Homo-oligomer: A and B are copies of this chain.
Amino acid sequence: MMPELDPWGSSDIEDYAKLFDEFGIQPFEEILGSIENPHMLMRRKIVFGHRDLERVLDAKRKGERFALVSGMMPSGKMHFGHKMVVDQLMWWQDLGTPLYIPIASVEAYGVREKSLDEVERLGIEEYLVNYIALGLRPDNCTVYFQEKRRAVDTLALLFSRRVTFNELRAIYGELSPAKIVSALVQVGDILHPQLQEYEGPCPVVVPVGADQDPHIRLTRDIASRASSEFGFQPCAATYHRFNSGLDGGKMSSSKPSSYIALTETLKDARYKLMNAFTGGRDTLKEQKELGGRPDICTVYELMKLHLEPDDAKLENTFRTCAAGELMCGDCKKCAWDLLERFLVEHQEKREKARDRIEEYLVKE
């Protein structure tokens, strides 16, 4: 018997169940109905959880202030796994949300031991340029390097009083001075929009991958402890699932076969896609009899998360695969058409994006 499959479901969603039970993350489904025109990743249950998002949506409804913080880590090539969060930024931008986008240069320098020159190059050339090409607009959008952002740095220093080694160990495992500083700066990133010189105290949402929740919890705890002094509200958050690696494992910057970079050459991208792990059966005959397994297929996942915006078309791919009507070869050809078009257009947009960096990046 085939398990009952849902084109919008995830075979591994149970892995996330303990985030609900143990850590108090709320299922996103419970508020999905109250969100007008939800983002594709919300609709498709890739965004699966949240904390306090009602406060943000309430503020929007009442015309009160709210904001978003979303960092980028300039540690290597930006790939489709990173793209998910950027896609959500534009949705928030359409709602009129002020966006604060730190480039995590203190962490890249301190913990990952990159040089400041390399951090600056990666942050701009590999990340910001991709963000702009993906559609990030400059209005109400502040991109900054952490060590140049005065308010963030000040808060990071002061917050050292509000945190213990135990809390930091929960995030970083083995500690070092650089990891401690890096965590404090990240808390400064998330809370600084609530300073009077920016938005003032207000709900601030942080869209993150599920693994980032310890940072969110730490920030919420520090916000509570410092609230009598600064008036900060605990941050809100949304949580999205990971993009699986093309090899069926984790997508990881340190394993090039697991990802397609946004600057990948067409030749390399095609090779990676054609060799990606699918839900295909061992033989064509078996596939026709049993149907494919789109629920574990990384090519289907690529279409679902990134390449196929049309729900009906995506659902059709899912059904015909599971019914044994669509074979992997044909499916990959379709996926490649979408991927090729995306990469060609994206890489053209990157060229234009380079001239617009100054519209986004603030000096402090």
State the A residues within 8 Å of B (CB): 106, 109-111, 113, 115-116, 146-148, 150, 153-154, 156-158, 160-161, 163-165, 168, 175-178, 180-182, 184-185, 229, 364
By the criterion CB–CB under 8 Å, are A110 and B153 in contact?
A: no
Contact B157 A153 (CB under 8 A): yes
Structural contact, A177 and B164, CB atoms closer than 8 A: yes
**Contacting pair B163 A181 (CB below 8 A):** no
When the two chains form their complex, are residues B158 and A110 in contact, meaning their CB atoms are under 8 A apart? Answer: yes
Query: In the bound complex, what is the Cα–Cα distance between A110 and B157 (angstroms)?
Result: 8
Q: Give complex CA distance A185, B160 in Å.
A: 12
Contact call B154/A156, Cβ cutoff below 8 A: no
Please state if A181 and B168 are interface contacts (CB–CB under 8 Å). Answer: no
The answer to whether B156 and A157 have CB atoms under 8 Å apart is: yes
Nearest residue (CB) in B for A175 is: B165
Are B180 and A161 in contact (CB-based, < 8 A)? no
* The 7 nearest A-B residue pairs measured at CB: A160-B181, A160-B178, A110-B161, A153-B153, A160-B177, A147-B154, A161-B178
A260 to chain B, nearest CB (A): 32
Report 27 cross-chain contacts, Cβ distance below 8 Å, ordered by A residue.
Answer: A106-B157, A109-B161, A110-B158, A110-B160, A110-B161, A115-B229, A116-B229, A146-B157, A148-B154, A150-B150, A150-B364, A153-B153, A153-B157, A156-B157, A156-B181, A157-B181, A160-B176, A160-B178, A160-B182, A161-B177, A161-B178, A163-B177, A164-B176, A165-B175, A165-B177, A177-B184, A181-B184
Q: How far is the CA of A103 from the CA of B150 in the complex (A)?
A: 18
B residues near A147, Cβ cutoff 8 Å: 154, 157-158
Q: Are B178 and A180 in contact (CB under 8 A)?
A: no
Residue of B nearest to A230 (CB): B116
**Cα distance, A157 to B158, chains bound together (Å):** 12
Which B residues are CB-close (under 8 A) to A165?
A: 175-177
- Contact partners of A153 in chain B: CB under 8 A: 150, 153-154, 157
- A171 to chain B minimum Cβ distance, whole angstroms, is 12
The distance in angstroms between the C-alpha atoms of A175 and B229, with both chains bound, is 24
Q: How far is the CA of A115 from the CA of B161 in the complex (A)?
A: 11
